[in-house]
Amino acid sequence: MDLEREKGLVKQALRNPTAFAELYDHYYPKVFGYALKRTADLEAAQDITSETFFKALKGLWRFRWRNISFSSWLFRIASNETAQYFRQADYRKSASLEALQDQGFEPASPDDPHGELIEAQEELDRHLEFRQVQGRIARLPARYQEVIALRYFEQKQIKEIAEILGKKEGTVKSLLHRAIEKLRETG
C-alpha cells in the first residue's frame, strides 16, 4: 500500500469504518500469518489477530506516525498479544471470534467455517519442518522468539524490528545473536 494513502486511511479510520476496513483488509493476512507462525495454533492465531485489531481500533487515536509506522504499530500490538498468550495458558479474550459470535456476529463467508479450519490445519501439518523449528523456538524466552519470528518468518529488517519492539537496532542485533545461540543449544 502506498505510504501516503496509508497515512490518509489511518487519519480517516478514526471515524470512517470503510477506511478502517481497507487497512484491515491489507493487514489481516500479515497479522494472522505472524500470529500463526508464532503459535502454530489456529485458534490462538485467530484470538491474537482479533484482539490485535480491536486494540488497534480502540487505540487508533493515540497512534502517531512520527514515532512508528502503522505496520510496526500493528505488529507491536500483535507481538504483545502473543507474549500474553504464552504467559497465560487460558488466553482467551473478550474480543475473540467466539465472543463476537456470541454477540451475534456470524461469519459472512458462505464457506463452512469448520471445513476451512480443517483445511487450514492440514496446511499447517504439511509443513513438518516448520513445525519442528517452531516447536524449538517456542521453548525459548519470548524476547528471543519474537526477534527470530520477525527476522526469519516475516523477513523484517533490523530497523523495522527495532521499531516494532521499541528497542535500539544494536539491542535487536545482539538479541538476535543470542536467540540463534539459544536455538542452537536446543537442537
Q: Should residue 59 be labelled a site residue for other proteins when binding is judged by CB under 8 A?
A: no
* C-alpha grid cell, residue 107: 461469519
Closest CB to other proteins among 22 and 169? 22
Question: How near is the Cβ of 27 to other proteins at its closest, in Å?
Answer: 11
Minimum CB–partner distance for residue 129 and other proteins (Å): 7
33 binds other proteins per the rule CB under 8 A: yes
Q: Judged by CB under 8 A, which of 3, 7, 88, 107 binds other proteins?
A: 107
Residue type, 101: Q
Enumerate residues 6+ apart whose C-beta is below 8 A from 37: 130, 134, 149, 153, 154
Q: Output the CA–CA distances (angstroms, integers) from residue 84 to 30, 52, 98, 167, 172, in the order listed.
A: 19, 12, 19, 19, 20
Residues constituting the chain? 187
What is the distance between the alpha carbons of residues 60 and 27, in angstroms, rounded to a whole number? 15
Piece of 42-50, 63-71, 83-91, 166-174 that binds other proteins (CB under 8 A): 42-50
Q: If we measure between CA atoms, which residue out of 153, 183, 175 comes closest to residue 39?
A: 153
62 binds other proteins (CB under 8 A): no
Cβ neighbourhood burial of 164 (10 Å; 0-12, 13-18, 19+): buried
Q: Which stretch binds other proteins (CB under 8 A): 1-9, 74-82, 99-107, 156-164?
A: 99-107
User: What are the residues binding other proteins (CB under 8 A)?
Assistant: 15-18, 20-21, 24-25, 28-29, 32-33, 36-37, 42, 46, 49-50, 53-54, 57-58, 97, 100-101, 103, 105-109, 111, 113, 116-117, 120, 123-124, 126-127, 129-130, 133, 148, 151-153, 180-181, 183-184, 187
